Amino acid sequence: MATSKYGEKDPDGFDRQADTVGAGIYSGNVKRDKQGNVIWGKQYQNHNPNPGPVYNGDGYSEISKAIHTGKPEIVLQMILKNPKVVNEISTTAINIPIESIPEEIL
């Protein structure tokens, strides 16, 4: 198990003492059924009592990792390579509206 200056993190990066969250709560890959539909149900560690996309346990989504770099050009490269990534569903069910990307980046 990883640690931070605040204490231990679970394998998904969740650190209760630092009040940070990991992929199970925000920006993580989600479980899908055989048809590719997102599975909705109990959320990771009961973080939210409402049903939502179920975390699949294998870390952050690719677009989330690109955003975490802090480099817009990496995000743009990913979008240009695969435009469908803007509609990617992750834990929390948030997607990136293309109109929110500044014109100077496009």
Q: What is the pLDDT of residues 3-48, one digit of tens each?
A: 555 566 666 666 666 656 777 778 889 999 999 888 888 887 777 7
Comparing 9-13, 49-53, 81-85, the range with the smallest average pLDDT is 9-13
Mean pLDDT, rounded, for 73-101: 78
Confidence of residue 1 (pLDDT cuts 50, 70, 90): very low
Task: Give the rounded distance of the alpha carbon of 27 from its chain centre.
Answer: 1
> How many angstroms separate the CA atoms of 47 and 33, rounded?
23
Domain ranges in the chain are: 10-100
